[in-house]
Amino acid sequence: MAVCATHSSALMIAYAASKDLTIPSLFSYANPRPNNLSVALCPPLVLLGARRGSNRSFPVVVSAVAAEADVDTEEDAEQNEATSTATAVLDPPKPKKGKAALLLKRDRTRSKRFLEIQKLRETKKEYDVKTAVSLLKQTANTRFVESVEAHFRLNIDPKYNDQQLRATVSLPKGTGQTVKVAVLAQGEKVDEAKNAGADIVGSDDLIEQIKGGFMEFDKLIASPDMMVKVAGLGKILGPRGLMPNPKAGTVTANIPQAIEEFKKGKVEFRADKTGIVHIPFGKVNFTEEDLLVNFLAAVKSVETNKPKGAKGVYWKSAHICSSMGPSIKLNIREMIDFKP
């Protein structure tokens, strides 16, 4: 097969010898990229050529041609390698964006303070409520007074209307925070709100201030007759969670009672997109008994306001923690049946 493949080249070399031409240059021109396989399979060939007018024969060895083919092949390989290296240098990896740019959990580092207090509790252990509250106070060792939070994972899907959870809870021992209340009312309701201890009271003038960027309040309460005018503030108040809503108790005709409840420690909560409820229920400087009373009030409110569409096991997990401390997992059955 190799002899057949080189038959035409052999004839050209013989012709070049008869014409007294340089063999390698003619071969390179005729076949710039020879097949190494065909050259390797063929042993050196000796071709006989005769000059015109001469009876003497001379040998033409094809080994020189094979050597030139090897050199060309090595040069091509080096060029290809250089091209691939240049391409790799010119195409840097694209920077990651969004969640892909965040460090993996195993690569994140914690402060020395957090690593020390994390040793106080066992990661997967489920604690009873009383032990958990006592442990929570031990883990709060920052220079400021931390808030205490409860996080409940529920078996609900808020994208369905019958599985949404939004309600309020009145914490018996308060939140430990000073709540600034603003009231939108008109007529006699304005005087009632001022006498009840509202920090800011107004009507159309307050609406214009809010449109201008005024947000110096924590709760906004509105009388039902003002909701027609308040509807235009949805894009401003909605993202901040300040839009008056009947379910949250911020749209009511009994304004003095609503002011008193929010001043004492009424807290609004709702389930997020993943079905988790986050409720602050005090400060770490509260006594353990006060924290227990507030926590049980929050649990009772979540249980009472169970959505109609919730099926199966309602409670999936429950944790409590301070603002800067590790979470402490609770025993759900013990939590629901706990009695102080």
Given 235, 264, 293, which residue is the final one in a domain?
Answer: 264
Q: Give the mean model confidence (pLDDT) for residues 101-113.
A: 73
Triad 270, 282, 176: Cα angle to 5°: 110
191 plus 237 within the same structural domain = yes
pTM value surpassing 0.75: no
pLDDT at 12 over 60: no
CATH number at residue 204: 3.40.50.790
Q: Give the mean model confidence (pLDDT) for residues 287-306.
A: 94
What is the number of helices (H) and of strands (E) in the chain?
14, 11
Chain segment 178-191, per-residue pLDDT in tens:
889 999 998 888 99
Which of these ranges, 53-57, 199-203, 219-223, has the smallest mean pLDDT? Answer: 53-57
For residue 15, what pLDDT is reported?
A: 53
- State how many domains the chain has: 2
For residue 98, what pLDDT is reported?
A: 77
Closest CA to 218 of 269, 253, 193, 183: 183
Measured in degrees and rounded to the nearest 5, phi and psi for residue 135 equal: -70, -35
Name the band, by pLDDT with cuts 50, 70 and 90, for residue 338.
confident
232 plus 211 within the same structural domain = yes
For residue 132, what pLDDT is reported?
A: 94
pLDDT at 3 over 70: no
Triad 330, 334, 337: Cα angle to 5°: 135
Is the model more confident about 119 or about 309?
309
- Domain membership flag for residue 74: no
Q: What is the DSSP string of 167-231?
A: EEEE-TT--SSPPPEEEE--THHHHHHHHHT-SEEESHHHHHHHHTT----SEEEE-GGGHHHHG
Mean pLDDT of the chain: 78
Given 200, 229, 264, which residue is the final one in a domain?
Answer: 264
Q: Give the mean model confidence (pLDDT) for residues 303-326.
A: 93
Chain segment 219-255, per-residue pLDDT in tens:
999 999 998 888 888 889 988 888 998 888 899 999 9
169 plus 315 within the same structural domain = yes
For residue 56, what pLDDT is reported?
A: 45
Neighbours of 293 (CB within 10 A): 17
Domain range enclosing 236: 181-264
For 213, left (φ over 0), alpha (ψ -120 to 50), or beta? left
pLDDT at 204 over 60: yes
Name the band, by pLDDT with cuts 50, 70 and 90, for residue 27.
very low
Bridge partners, residue 167, by sequence: 269
Neighbours of 88 (CB within 10 A): 9
197 plus 127 within the same structural domain = no
For residue 30, what pLDDT is reported?
A: 46
- Domain membership flag for residue 306: yes
Is the model more confident about 79 or about 116?
116
Given 216, 235, 264, which residue is the final one in a domain?
Answer: 264
For residue 64, what pLDDT is reported?
A: 44
What element of type H or E holds 149? strand 147-154
Q: Give the mean model confidence (pLDDT) for residues 61-85.
A: 51
Distance CA 263, CA 259 (A): 6
Query: Which residue in the block uniquely carries the two structure tokens 């000073």?
Result: 178
Residues in the chain: 340
Neighbours of 16 (CB within 10 A): 19
Distance CA 192, CA 198 (A): 9
Name the amino acid, one letter, at 241.
Answer: G
- Domain membership flag for residue 148: yes
Is the model more confident about 168 or about 47?
168
pLDDT at 306 over 70: yes
